[in-house]
């Protein structure tokens, strides 16, 4: 018995030679608990542009666009799960050439150092999840590195339509290729379910069920395209990726833990009361100024700024500066880590240089007005 196995036995945890910490799941929000973008009166997001999110940390993208609608469902397999990700196809789309539709999850590179991919010390992985689909057949499942040059493919086979199934997919250790690692805060690895894939990425002949390739083959021939059936549904929850060869029970985390982890990548602040103040700013011109904005926690990278209709915001002068009006833009003028962001604003004019202005929500309908910071990978 190896030392690792001895230790695993002492702590009462199954092991196949790899010690797994209590924080074994590398997936954030695998139980779909956090959906910051869906809690403000919005119940779904359509795939109208690339790299969108509905449920935190689970992106979706496609070409052609607008093939999918992503929402959150309370249909679950039980087992302590409250939610699932629901993909509904918007049409019977035919995928040609390199066209695709995908739902996935990216992991930050520095959180994968212990996996050791690209080195002789690489560890095997196992991915487990619950899935329910209205279409039977094999859905392409992939794992890729940061630049899509290392590609693992597997069949995620739906045996029975509209029934929850538990899947485990074994990923052999990958000792070759370039993988981002220690200290890298950008893309490291992604897992994906293709809901549509054209023949140029599935007929190359190098992909196998459970193997790696470097030829941009993302699926084993014979796969299904869920989005080729109009109104098809695909539910996923309980997603877990861990080191080892044996999947363990899903690691349930508290909502607070998951929310805090998600906020490294996205934070949304909403209006729950009319005239809810956001920040006090100082003008450096008649059209522009800056506010110190305090984030709930540090973000992965200098974030982009998202906002609801700018008519929901007001910039009002204080101390006789006078006048109020909606800003014409909001932006990140400086961020170097921590929770203090320099939020820039612009207004068409009429403001007073060096005067103090209050940035606040004005819309009285709770949930309509929001300001968010986006550092997704």
Rounded to the nearest whole angstrom, what is the least distance from the CB of residue 178 to other proteins in the complex? 14
Task: Provide φ and ψ at 135, rounded to 5°.
Answer: -120, 135
Estimate to the nearest angstrom the gap between the alpha carbon of 28 and the chain centroid.
8
Strands 151-158 and 100-108 turn out to be unpaired
Strands 151-158 and 187-197: unpaired
Q: Return the bridge partners of 235, or none.
A: 86, 132
Count of residues of this chain found to bind other proteins when the rule CB under 8 A is applied: 50
Q: With binding defined as CB under 8 A, does residue 356 bind other proteins?
A: no
Sign of CA dihedral 168, 169, 173, 174: negative
Q: 95 or 117: whose CB is closer to other proteins?
A: 95
Selected binder of other proteins within 7, 11, 50, 231 (CB under 8 A)? 50
* φ and ψ at residue 358, rounded to 5 degrees: -100, 125
- Burial of residue 352 (CB within 10 Å: 0-12, 13-18, 19+) is middle
Q: What does R_g of the chain's alpha carbons equal in angstroms?
A: 23
Q: Contact with other proteins (CB under 8 A): which of 6, 49, 168, 206? A: 49
By the rule CB under 8 A, 80 interacts with other proteins: no
Closest approach of other proteins to the CB of residue 3, in Å = 38
Q: Which of 31, 38, 344, 355 binds other proteins (CB under 8 A)?
A: 344
Nearer to other proteins, 97 or 205 (CB): 97
> Which C-beta is closer to other proteins: that of 160 or that of 203?
203
Name the minimum Å distance from CB 237 to other proteins: 25
- The answer to whether residue 333 forms part of the interface with other proteins (CB under 8 A) is yes
Two tokens, residue 277: 């103040």
Torsion of CA 183, 174, 85, 260, to 10 degrees: -20
Minimum distance from residue 331 beta carbon to other proteins (Å): 4
- As a whole number of Å, the end-to-end CA separation of the chain is 40
Q: What are phi and psi of 317, to 5 degrees?
A: -75, 145
Q: Which two tokens stand for residue 162?
A: 């509209």
Nearer to other proteins, 203 or 309 (CB): 309
Can you list the alpha helix ranges (DSSP code H) found in the chain? 3-10, 255-262
Residue 185 binds other proteins (CB under 8 A): yes
Name the one residue in this structure whose structure tokens are 């003008």.
283
Closer residue to other proteins, CB minimum distance, 158 or 351: 351
Piece of 24-32, 141-149, 169-177, 273-281 that binds other proteins (CB under 8 A): 141-149
Q: What is the DSSP string of 117-161?
A: TTSTT---EEEEEEEEESS-EEEEEEEEETTS-SEEEEEEEE-ST
User: Which listed residue (13, 216, 251, 362) binds other proteins by CB under 8 A?
Assistant: 216
Ranges within 265-304 binding other proteins (CB under 8 A): 284-288, 290, 300-304
What burial class does residue 4 get, using C-beta atoms within 10 Å of its C-beta: 0-12 exposed, 13-18 middle, 19+ buried? middle
Which residue, 221 or 337, is less far from other proteins as judged by CB?
337
Is 175 a binding residue for other proteins by CB under 8 A? The answer is no
44: contact with other proteins by CB under 8 A: no
**Contact partners, residue 363, CB within 8 Å, separation at least 6:** 271, 274, 308, 311, 312, 369
Give 173 or 279: the residue with its C-beta nearer to other proteins. Answer: 279
Chosen residue from 68, 126, 226, 330 binding other proteins by CB under 8 A: 330
Residue window 220-249: x/- pattern of binding to other proteins, with contact defined by CB under 8 A: ------------------------------
Which residues here bind other proteins, judged by CB under 8 A?
A: 49-51, 61, 63, 65, 98, 100, 147-149, 185-186, 201, 216, 218, 284-288, 290, 300-310, 328-335, 344, 346, 349, 351, 353, 374-377
């Amino acid at each position: 018995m190896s030392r690792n196995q001895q230790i695993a036995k002492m702590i009462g945890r199954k092991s196949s030679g790899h010690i797994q910490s209590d924080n074994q799941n590398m997936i954030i929000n695998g139980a779909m608990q956090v959906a910051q973008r869906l809690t403000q009166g919005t119940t779904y997001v359509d795939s109208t542009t690339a790299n969108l999110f509905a449920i935190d940390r689970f992106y979706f993208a496609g070409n052609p666009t607008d093939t999918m609608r992503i929402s959150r469902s309370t249909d679950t397999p039980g087992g302590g799960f409250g939610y699932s990700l629901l993909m509904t196809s918007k049409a019977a789309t035919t995928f040609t050439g390199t066209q695709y539709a995908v739902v996935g999850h990216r992991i930050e590179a520095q959180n994968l150092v212990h996996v050791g991919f690209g080195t002789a010390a690489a560890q095997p992985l196992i991915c487990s999840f619950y899935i329910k689909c209205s279409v039977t057949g094999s859905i392409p499942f992939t794992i890729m590195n940061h630049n899509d040059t290392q590609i693992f493919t597997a069949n995620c086979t739906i045996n029975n339509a509209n029934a929850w199934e538990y899947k485990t997919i074994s990923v052999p250790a990958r000792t070759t290729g370039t993988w981002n690692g220690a200290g890298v805060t950008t893309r490291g690895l992604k897992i994906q379910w293709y809901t549509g894939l054209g023949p140029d990425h599935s007929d190359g002949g190098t992909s196998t069920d459970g193997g790696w390739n470097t030829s941009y083959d993302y699926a084993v021939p014979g796969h299904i395209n869920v989005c080729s059936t109009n109104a098809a549904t695909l539910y996923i929850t309980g997603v877990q990726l861990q080191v080892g060869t044996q999947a363990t029970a899903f690691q349930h985390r508290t909502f607070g833990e998951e929310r805090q982890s998600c906020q490294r990548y996205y934070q949304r602040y909403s209006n729950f009361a009319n005239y809810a103040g956001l920040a006090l700013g100082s003008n450096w011109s008649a059209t522009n100024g800056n506010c110190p904005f305090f984030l709930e926690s540090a973000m992965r990278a200098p974030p982009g700024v998202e906002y609801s209709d700018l008519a929901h915001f007001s910039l009002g002068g204080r101390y006789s500066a006078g006048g109020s009006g909606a800003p014409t833009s909001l932006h990140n003028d400086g961020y170097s880590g921590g929770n203090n962001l320099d939020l820039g604003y612009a207004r068409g004019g009429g403001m007073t240089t060096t005067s103090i202005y209050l940035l606040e929500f004005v819309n009285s309908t709770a949930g309509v007005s929001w300001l968010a910071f986006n550092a997704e990978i």
